[in-house]
Structure 1
Amino acid sequence: MKTLPIAIAFGFFGAVAVTVSFSLQWPTWVMFVAWVSFYIFGKKIETSLWALLQIVLGMMMAILIQVSAGGLQQLIGGLGFPVAVFLYIGSLAYFAGTKKLNNIPAWFLGLIILFGAHPPLEPLPVLNLLIPILAGFLFAWLNNKVVDMIHERQTSKSTVQ
């Protein structure tokens, strides 16, 4: 019986998130990538903000790869895209050595989001991806808060008995 309230919370937040996402025509998978990121990268505001920053940086890297690839393709043809990927992804080795920007999975999630959603490389479509990303972190945070409250209530009841 202890699991039922948690299952209800998970189901509720998942259903609300999907409903909002479908209603607003967001790419739902982008929202869930952000939701998972909250849990993978620490479930705290500070770690979530750092993960969010690196996801956004990964998205910017994907844009730079595409723009650079276009220029390189004019110079070296079909090798332009792989060379651009090689150069930018290779630069992540340097970020891995920093204290705050070393979350390579978050960078790759940003790459995945931008390459997966493949919006036009214009400011508004790219910035619009930030909305489901922020919503994903928010839904995960809300879900986690409710689950923590359920755990606290269950713990206090078991110590009273």
Structure 2
Amino acid sequence: MPRAVLPYSLPLLLIILIGFAALSLTLGAYPLSLLDSLHALLGTGEPMAVQVVQDIRLPRTLGAILVGAALAAAGAAYQLLFRNPLVSPDILGVSSGAGLGAVLGLFLGLPSLGVQSLAFAGGIAAVALVIALGKAIQHADRTLVLVLTGVVLGALAGAITSLLKILADPYD
């Protein structure tokens, strides 16, 4: 990217983000105009619009922005750690570990909060195991050891996930 474009990228992206956030406050089953959404955001609109915007749409919009920022920060951390712009969460087995946790939660018949908790715990456990194994192997390139350990752990978690799918009752 040319250096002359870089100073204008961040303000432009911020304007686009604000525009889409404003648009998200207008769209839905209860349609509102941009002006109605602004009034509802300030609490001066009609009561139903105020409730829809402040209690439903604004928290969802802010949540989406925060989750997007967290995912971007995690992606940047991965890229910095592995010095590779094409790195993905699969490289440390996070996705496979989280998938295994979710499948295990479904296999055990847990409610959705339990499934989500097991998925989170599975992702964290996968990374912890990869890091522990990476520290145990001393005489090699650390990045290479982390990548290979993550790929192996991801394959193992994928195999266990497949086993649980086969063992699961298809009618339950």
TM-score range, shorter chain: 0.3 to 0.5
**Structure with the larger RCO, 1 or 2 (CA within 8 Å, 6+ apart):** 1
Larger Rg: 2
TM-score by length of 1: 0.35
Structure whose residues are more often helix by fraction: 1
